[in-house]
Amino acid sequence: MTLTAGQISAFRLARHHLVDEKPAGLVRICRDVCGIQAQLMSAAEMALSARKPSISKSMISSALWKKRELVRTSLMRQTLHIIPSSDFVLYITALKKSRLAGLTRFTSRFGITAKDLDSLNQAIMALLRHGPMSQENLTKRLLPMVSRGLSKYMSLSWGIQLFRPALVEGLICYGRPVDKKVTYVRVDQWLQGLKRVAEDEAKRELIRRYLKAYGPATPKDFSKWSGISMGEVRETWQTLEDELAVVSAGAMLAWLRREDMDTMARVRLSENNIRLLPSFDSFLLGHAQKDHLVDGRNYKRVYRNQGWISPVVLQGGRIIGVWSMEIEEKHSFVCIALFQGSGKDLQSGIEGEVNRLRRFIGASLDIRFERP
């Protein structure tokens, strides 16, 4: 099967809930896109708003901290994501082997052993037995509880690195911020009804879900997205051969779930689909190469140094510009920098998206168009 760029874009936009006429619920959205990137919580909130325009910050907060139907923790590529709480064990299990290997390589530089890491995890769990604690307070309380070697490691490490082992093991996750400070909680106290998943099946299911959202894609794409080593990916990918079909996507061969073939054949792309996506939006992070999203001359305007990703203007699944928000005392602006000139239909679509942002942040926003 040979696919056009338009078909592929239309398929992915639909799977990422960026063309929904009837927006789905928060849990469904987070499940379907394989997690909302949440390194910056404000960006995660805007990513959800782009997929469910009626959403409010209070609804997101309730889903995370009151209902706890969503959970925020460190997952793919060691970055923070928001996923359905019911999927927590699936992600932790699928990613654990590769993440533990990377963690061991890092901590071994400090002479830290697996036994040391177990001791650190036990100390963290003991301190959290009475409820959430801030990262700052946990770090202070940990120092007198650990060995001399771990104390040295703690003095040389930073922030999240101290808690990475417990996060990777799925022992802790992020709690509600207090005074804008990070807090951690014990998963066994925070989330209820979690069921174990075998490692092999967790990996297979994660590949299935990834291809449902980002297909067609390659094992290299999945490895890049997930952070799982290529060796592990190839081994698991081979066990799914009966469920996958090889398709021609431009100049490359890629894989698609067989059950998505009919949908892919029917989808049609609308060039009138305009979206303002925030920094680190999940739609921008699914593949090793990004030429299906942005041309080479504008690549660095989107995928910047030190891993930063700009907020983008998306038209029909292609990045046609970047944007930023400037909050000032008397006036606030959304600054739009298109790569090329715009017509009336494009400007109208952008104005509609800015109206959505106005409602979401609850503030007046003017629009500034910068010259290409």
Q: Do the domain assignments include residue 246? A: yes
Q: What is the model's pLDDT at position 110?
A: 81
DSSP category for residue 303: B
Q: What is the model's pLDDT at position 159?
A: 66
Same domain as 174, residue 303:
no
Q: Which of 70, 81, 74, 61 is nearest to 176 (CA)?
A: 61
pLDDT digits over 193-250, tens only?
Answer: 999 999 999 999 999 999 999 999 999 999 999 999 999 999 999 999 999 999 998 7
Helices vs. strands in the chain: H and E counts, helices first: 16, 14
pLDDT digits over 321-341, tens only?
Answer: 999 998 777 778 999 999 998
Domain count of the fold of the chain: 2
HSE-CB of 319 using CA atoms within 13 angstroms: 29
pLDDT at 50 over 80: yes
Same domain as 131, residue 178:
yes
Expressed as residue numbers, the domain containing 354 is 290-370
Considering 212, 244, 271, which residue would you say is the last residue of a domain?
271
> How do the residues of the chain divide into helix, strand and coil, expressed in percent and rounded to 5?
50, 20, 30
Same domain as 307, residue 344:
yes
The residue-averaged pLDDT of 112-121 equals 90
CB atoms near residue 304 (< 10 Å)? 13
Same domain as 212, residue 313:
no
Q: Do the domain assignments include residue 284? A: no
Same domain as 224, residue 80:
yes
CA–CA dist 188, 278 (Å, integer): 33
Q: Do the domain assignments include residue 281? A: no
Same domain as 302, residue 215:
no
pLDDT greater at residue 344 or residue 229: 229
Same domain as 302, residue 256:
no
CA–CA dist 101, 97 (Å, integer): 6
Same domain as 265, residue 328:
no
Q: Do the domain assignments include residue 285? A: no
Same domain as 334, residue 230:
no
Q: Do the domain assignments include residue 276? A: no
Beta-carbon contacts of residue 12 (< 8 Å; ≥ 6 apart): 213, 214, 215, 283, 286, 317
Q: Do the domain assignments include residue 318? A: yes
CA–CA dist 63, 293 (Å, integer): 31
Same domain as 311, residue 262:
no
Q: Do the domain assignments include residue 22? A: yes
CA–CA dist 93, 97 (Å, integer): 8
Considering 238, 271, 304, which residue would you say is the last residue of a domain?
271
Q: Do the domain assignments include residue 282? A: no
Same domain as 244, residue 363:
no
The whole model's pTM is what?
0.95
Residue in this structure with the two tokens 């209820």, named with its chain if needed = 192
